[in-house]
Amino acid sequence: MTIETSVLATKLNTFVRLSDGESRCLAQLQSSSIEVARGAEFVHQGETGNVAYILQSGWACSSKLLPDGGRQVITFPIPGDCVGLRSILLRTADHSVAAVTDSIVSRIQISRILEVFNEFPHLATAILWATSRDEAMVVEHLASVGRRTAIERTAHFFLELYDQLTLIEMAQDGTFNCPLSQYELGDALGLSAIHVNRVLRMLREQGLMTFNAHTVTLHNIRGLKELAGYETPEHAAVLVR
């Protein structure tokens, strides 16, 4: 992998400016990649491991399996996202991650990550900054399921996706590809697939957004933000070298 092809490098350079040495290290860190077929798990809840992952291409779904067999979707990792970094501290995975589409992921030994963090503290800070921003969305997800109405949480969800994908240059002019089914959206939003369909129709009829053939178009971003009470996240990081 070259510096130019690293989606994570694109993402991190939105937060901070990486040096050439840091960029080379980041590329080397992602040199060992594997293909993951759609539907296959690559992080297994309850298992102990010493590996973290960086999603290079494709989409994934992190979820928590409950004792009664139910499932709660936590997030949908996209290219450039780090998966399993918490295993640096917690040796047992507290959730599973499966590929939503055919994907490519880089496998990184935790020991190697710690070496890089020690050698390149600025790069470590950048990765942790980006990861913290990703995990802030879990807080928003909790707020959505607990307090926002169905139409508000749906609007908020798609605005978050748009901002995430814009960071890695996979969204433009209010349009992006979204491989998620209405069942997967329902699991994430705490709604039935039928309810998701109804909410998407309402958003379409209000001229706010459309979701057709896996293409999302946000026709009125300001209107969606007002509806969802959405605030665009600040990405600039103030870091000391």
User: What pLDDT does residue 6 have?
Assistant: 82
Fold of the domain spanning 138-228? Arc Repressor Mutant, subunit A (1.10.10)
Strands 96-99 and 171-172, by their bridges, are unpaired
Domain ranges of the chain: 3-136, 138-228
Q: Give the strands of the sheet with 215-218, arranged side by side.
A: 171-172, 175-177, 215-218, 209-212
Q: Which fold has domain 3-136?
A: Jelly Rolls (2.60.120)
Question: Six-digit token pair at 205?
Answer: 């009829």
Asked if the domains at 3-136 and 138-228 fall in one CATH topology, the answer is: no
> Averaged in consecutive runs of 10 residues, what is the pLDDT profile of the chain (241 residues)?
69 86 90 94 87 94 88 91 78 89 94 91 86 73 74 95 94 97 92 96 98 96 95 56 41
pLDDT on residue 208: 98
